[in-house]
Amino acid sequence: MQFCARELGAIALSIGIIPSCAAATDPASAYPDRQITLVIGFPPGGGADALGRLFARHMATELGRNIVMDYRPGAAGNLGAKSVARSNPDGYTLYLAGRPNTIHKAMYPQLEYDFSQDLVPVGLVATMPYVMVVGKDAPISSIQDVIALARAYPGAPTCASAGVGTSDHLLCAMFQQETGTDIAHIPYRGSAPALADVMGGRVDMFFAPLPAALPHIVAGKLRAVAVISRVRASALPHTPTIAESGYPALALDAWYGLMAPAGTPSEVVGRLNRSLASVLGTQEMQDALTQLAYIPPPPDTSEAFGALIAQETERWTEILRRRNFLPTHDGKAADAPGAKP
C-alpha cells in the first residue's frame, strides 16, 4: 500500500500528537498545580508546628505553590496521620511524621489505619534531642536531684508529656524503670501546654523537645537539667547529657519526616523528595534549623527514609514489649508498671 505525502504527514502528525496529549493529561507531570496541605498531628505552638511552618515556607517557594497547615491533634499525632492516610493520593495532602507514628499499633490498637502500609515516605526532615526541664524555682539541678526527690516521695513528683504514646511520655516511663523511681505521668495535648504548666510550677518536670523548650530556657523561665543525648547540644553547651549523668540507655534523639498517602504516584513522591533535598541543601535552611535546635540531615532518598522507619518500628516495638508498656484504651494512659497515669 502506498500513501501520498499528505497522508504520510497526517500519520506522522497524529503519532506525534498522541504521546504529547497523554503527557498533558498525566497529573504527575503537572504537579503541583494547586495549593498543598501539610497536616500536623499536634496543636499549634509546639516543636512540630515550628518545624512544619519552616519547611512549608521554603518548599512552597521551591515548588511554586502555597503550602497551608492543618492541625489534627490527638493520639500522639496518629489522628492526623490517619486523616492523611484516608485522603486522596495525589500529593496535595502531606503529613509531618515522627516516632510516635511507628508504634501506633502497640499504643493505639483501636485506630483503624496502618502507618507503614497506608502512608509512603517522602524524606527525612530533621532530627532533634530532648531535654529534661524543670521550673526556674524548682529545687532540682541535676538528674541525681530528681532521683532523690522521687525516692523520698514515691508517686508525688509529676512528669508532663505532650500526650500518651509520645516520645516524651516513653522517656518519662523509661526513666522510672532505669532509676527505680515512681513519678506520676501528666499527659497534655501538645508540648506548649505542658511547658506552660512546668513554667507555672504546676508540674515538676518534662522531657521536652529541645526546639520547643529552648526559648524558655534562654529566657530564664525553665532550667535545663540534662540533654537526653550522648552528645551535648550546641545550644546548651554547659548542660550535661543523660549519658554523662549515668543513664546512656535513655540517650534517644527524635526525628521528623514527610509522608504522603499510599498510592501517590512515584513521580509526585520523587518531585517532593527533590524539593525537600533542595531546601535542605541551602545554607539558609541549615542555619534556620540549627538556630531552632534541630539537626539538619543530609539530603537523602525516600527509600532511605523508609528504611529508617522500618528500623524505628522494629526497635521501638521491641522496647515497648520488653518494658511491658500497655496499649491505651479510649485515650487513657497505660504506662508500664510503676508509672502512674
**Domain residue ranges of the chain, discontinuous segments joined by +:** 32-127+254-323, 129-250
The CATH-assigned architecture of domain 129-250 is 3-Layer(aba) Sandwich (3.40)
- Residue whose C-alpha is closest to residue 293's, from 259, 253, 257, 258: 253
SS3 78: helix
Distance CA 290, CA 292 (A): 5
Distance CA 229, CA 252 (A): 6
Q: What is the pLDDT of residues 287-330, one digit of tens each?
A: 999 988 999 998 889 999 999 999 989 888 888 887 777 676 54
81: number of CA atoms within 13 Å, CB side? 31
Q: What is the CATH T-level fold of the domain 32-127+254-323, as seen in this structure?
A: D-Maltodextrin-Binding Protein; domain 2 (3.40.190)
Strands 205-209 and 130-135: antiparallel
Is 13 a residue whose pLDDT tops 50?
no
CB 142 within 8 A of CB 169: no
Within 10 Å of residue 266's Cβ, how many Cβ atoms?
10
User: What nine digits make up the cell of 85?
Assistant: 492516610
For 15-23, the CB contacts below 8 A with 24+ separation are: none
Residue 72: what residue type?
Answer: R
Is 284 a residue whose pLDDT tops 60?
yes
Q: What is the pLDDT of residues 225-283, one digit of tens each?
A: 999 999 999 899 999 999 999 999 898 888 999 999 999 999 999 999 999 999 999 99
User: What nine digits make up the cell of 335?
Assistant: 504506662
Residues whose CB is less than 8 angstroms from the CB of residue 139 and which lie 6 or more positions away in sequence, other chains included: 145, 149
Identify the H or E element spanning 62. Answer: helix 47-63
Which range has the worst mean pLDDT, 135-149, 186-200, 213-227, 327-341? 327-341
Within 10 Å of residue 304's Cβ, how many Cβ atoms?
15
Strands 222-228 and 130-135: antiparallel
Q: What is the pLDDT of residues 45-98, one digit of tens each?
A: 878 899 999 999 999 999 999 999 999 999 889 999 999 999 999 999 999 999
User: In this structure, is the dihedral angle defined by the CA atoms of residues 170, 175, 177 and 180, taken in order, positive or negative?
Assistant: negative
Q: Which residues does residue 121 pair with via DSSP β-bridges, in sequence order? A: 259
User: What nine digits make up the cell of 12?
Assistant: 506522522
Amino acid 179: pLDDT: 94
User: In this structure, is the dihedral angle defined by the CA atoms of residues 102, 247, 177 and 141, taken in order, positive or negative?
Assistant: negative
pLDDT averaged over the chain?
A: 87
CB 63 within 8 A of CB 275: yes
- Residue whose C-alpha is closest to residue 166's, from 226, 233, 85, 80: 80
User: In this structure, is the dihedral angle defined by the CA atoms of residues 53, 54, 58 and 61, taken in order, positive or negative?
Assistant: positive
Within 10 Å of residue 21's Cβ, how many Cβ atoms?
10
Query: CA separation (Å) from 208 to 76, 175, 339?
Result: 14, 14, 18
Judge if 32-127+254-323 and 129-250 fold alike in CATH terms: yes
